[in-house]
Amino acid sequence: MSWGVVAVALLTSLSTAASLFMVAAGLTLIFGAMRVINLAHGSLYMYGAFIAATIVGSATGDTFWYALALAPLAVVVLGTLLEVGLMRRVYRADHLVQLLATYGVLLILGDLALQFWGASPLSVSSPRVLSGSLAFQHFTFPAYELFLTGTGVLVGLALWFLLARTSLGWKVRASVEDAELLAVRGTNVKLLYTVVFAIGAFLAGLGGALITPLQGVDTGLGSSIIVAAFVVAVIGGLGSIAGAALGAGIIAVFQMAGALWLPAWEPTSLYVAMIVVLAIKPWGLLGVRDR
Partner 1 sequence: MVTVALETESLTKRFGAFTAVDEVYLQVDEGAIHAIIGPNGAGKSTLFKLLTGVHVPTSGLVKLRGRDLTGLPPHAVARAGIVQVFQTTSIFTRLSVEESLATAVLAAAGHSASMSARRRRRAQPQVDELLEAVGLTAARAAISGTLSHGDQRALEIAVALGATPSVLLLDEPTAGMSPFETERMTELVRRLRHERSLTVVLSEHDMDVIFGLSDRVTVLHRGKVLAEGSPAEVAADDEVVSVYLGGEQI
- The count of residues interacting with partner 1 (CB under 8 A) is 26
Work out which of 137, 177, 290, 291 binds partner 1, going by CB under 8 A.
177
Distance CA 163, CA 165 (A): 6
93 vs 181 by CB, closer to partner 1: 181
CB of 280 to partner 1, least distance (A): 25
Work out which of 108, 190, 220, 281 binds partner 1, going by CB under 8 A.
190
CB of 196 to partner 1, least distance (A): 8
159 binds partner 1 (CB under 8 A): no
Looking from the CA of 37 toward its CB, the CA atoms found within 13 Å total 16
173 binds partner 1 (CB under 8 A): yes
Terminal-to-terminal C-alpha distance of the chain: 48
Distance CA 118, CA 122 (A): 9
CB of 201 to partner 1, least distance (A): 15
Q: Residue 55 burial by CB count (10 A; 0-12/13-18/19+): exposed, middle or buried?
A: buried
SS3 assignment, position 279: helix
Distance CA 83, CA 205 (A): 15
136 vs 161 by CB, closer to partner 1: 161
- Residues of this chain, 95-134, that bind partner 1 according to CB under 8 A: none
Element (H, E) at 141: strand 140-142
162 binds partner 1 (CB under 8 A): yes
CB of 178 to partner 1, least distance (A): 7
CB of 65 to partner 1, least distance (A): 25
Angle, vertex CA 137, rays to CA 134 and CA 139, nearest 5: 60
* E strand segments, the chain: 133-135, 140-142
Work out which of 65, 170, 261, 271 binds partner 1, going by CB under 8 A.
170
Work out which of 166, 227, 260, 267 binds partner 1, going by CB under 8 A.
166
Helices (H), 212-240: 221-236
Work out which of 167, 263, 289, 291 binds partner 1, going by CB under 8 A.
167
181 binds partner 1 (CB under 8 A): yes
CB 209 within 8 A of CB 48: yes
122 vs 195 by CB, closer to partner 1: 195
SS3 assignment, position 134: strand
CB 121 within 8 A of CB 217: yes
Work out which of 51, 64, 124, 171 binds partner 1, going by CB under 8 A.
171
CB 202 within 8 A of CB 76: yes
Q: Near partner 1 by CB under 8 A, which window of 77-85, 123-131, 147-155, 182-190?
A: 182-190
Work out which of 58, 123, 125, 188 binds partner 1, going by CB under 8 A.
188
**What residues contact 88, with CB distance under 8 A and at least 6 apart?**
190, 193, 194
Work out which of 7, 84, 130, 183 binds partner 1, going by CB under 8 A.
183
- 134 has which bridge partners? 141
CB of 184 to partner 1, least distance (A): 5
187 binds partner 1 (CB under 8 A): yes
Footprint of partner 1 (CB under 8 A): 162, 166-171, 173-174, 177-178, 180-192, 194-195
